[in-house]
């Protein structure tokens, strides 16, 4: 059994406690109080309670750390070098529709660098975790990104801009450019798990625009520690204000990035190698 570091131990304990609450609420999802933050953007009592649990548990273990959280926003800590970046329920829409594909996501930022991540799928009981220099793991099994080198055999994941969000036309061009060159594209609605699946070699790549830091903080650490690459689609370094993300194995990262940039510019070469 792989032993957790003190940091990962704290993160895992917080994620599991929030995950147990989510699993219980999932069984009663039809009774949850739900409100709308915006078009097609929901928050439930489950989100709020899970975030409360995470903040309470993480603050108890590391009282000086700040927070960047989906529901409560930014909270400064006395320790200015560390910040938790948390999503208590990634995949809220799946959760509210009774689809068992959602996660708790916790990332740790140290002096502006993402150094640890935990993504817990409480329904499948899969705990993905990684720490800088220590590799990436699911439960007690070491993770490596896929070794596929041929894009035609690759399985990709993405997120679709939904009601009220910009970028749908660009997304359609991206899909047209990539779908004819790959073995498939999936949209499962939980970015943290999409990134974890890239780390696990289940997908060769994941891309999306319009994400927030809590959507990709933990997953970024997972992919990098599993041997993959992560950046914004334009090739710039990923950061809190990044407009997009691309994560892939090293063999296909450059090719997929090039194709996405072509599509964003209105490229019309999607059929060239189909």
Q: What is the pLDDT of residues 118-157, one digit of tens each?
A: 999 999 999 999 999 999 999 999 999 999 999 999 999 9
- CA-to-CA dists, residue 196 to 104, 119, 140, 274, angstroms: 12, 7, 15, 29
pLDDT of 100 strictly over 80: yes
Confidence category of residue 217, pLDDT binned at 50, 70, 90? very high
Q: Per CATH, is 151-264 categorized as 3.40.190.80?
A: yes
Band of residue 273 on the pLDDT scale cut at 50, 70, 90: very low
CB neighbours of 12 closer than 8 A, spacing ≥ 6? 4, 118, 120, 127, 129
pLDDT digits (tens, 9 = 90+) for 28-41: 877 776 766 554 45
Which of these ranges, 28-37, 80-89, 182-191, 249-258, has the smallest mean pLDDT? 28-37
The closest alpha carbon to 15, from 86, 94, 99, 78, belongs to: 86
Collapse the DSSP code of 188 into the 3-class scheme (helix H, G, I; strand E, B; otherwise coil) and give the result: coil
Summary mean pLDDT of the chain: 90
CATH 3.40.190.80 in the chain, residue ranges: 151-264
Q: Are 108 and 7 in contact (CB under 8 A)?
A: yes
Which three-class secondary structure state does DSSP give residue 89? strand
CATH class of 6-142: alpha beta
pLDDT band for position 164 (50/70/90)? low
Q: Which of 118, 121, 122 has the alpha carbon at shortest distance from 105?
A: 118
């Amino acid at each position: 059994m792989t032993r957790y570091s003190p940091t990962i131990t704290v993160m895992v304990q917080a994620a599991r406690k929030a995950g147990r609450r989510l699993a219980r609420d999932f069984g009663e999802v039809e009774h949850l109080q739900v409100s709308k933050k915006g078009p097609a953007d929901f928050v439930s009592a489950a989100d709020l309670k899970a975030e409360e649990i995470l903040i309470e548990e993480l603050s108890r273990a590391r009282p000086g750390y700040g927070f960047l959280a989906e529901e409560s926003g930014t909270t400064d800590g006395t320790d200015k070098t560390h910040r938790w970046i948390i999503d208590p329920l990634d995949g809220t829409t799946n959760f509210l529709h009774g689809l068992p594909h959602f996660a708790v996501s916790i990332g740790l930022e140290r002096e502006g660098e993402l150094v640890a991540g935990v993504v817990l799928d409480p329904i499948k009981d899969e705990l993905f975790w990684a720490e800088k220099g220590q590799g990436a793991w699911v439960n007690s099994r070491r993770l490596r990104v896929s070794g596929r080198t041929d894009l035609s055999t690759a399985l990709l994941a993405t997120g679709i801009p939904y009601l009220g969000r910009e970028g749908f036309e660009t997304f359609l061009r991206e899909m047209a450019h990539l779908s004819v060159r790959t073995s498939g594209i999936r949209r499962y609605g939980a970015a943290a798990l999409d990134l974890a699946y890239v780390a696990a070699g289940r997908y060769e790549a994941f891309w999306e625009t319009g994400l927030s830091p809590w959507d990709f903080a933990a997953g970024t650490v997972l992919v990098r520690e599993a041997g993959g690459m992560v950046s914004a689609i334009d090739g710039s370094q990923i950061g809190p204000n990044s407009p997009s993300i691309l994560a892939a194995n090293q063999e296909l990262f450059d090719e997929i990035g090039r194709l996405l940039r072509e599509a964003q510019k209105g490229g019309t070469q999607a059929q060239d190698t189909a």
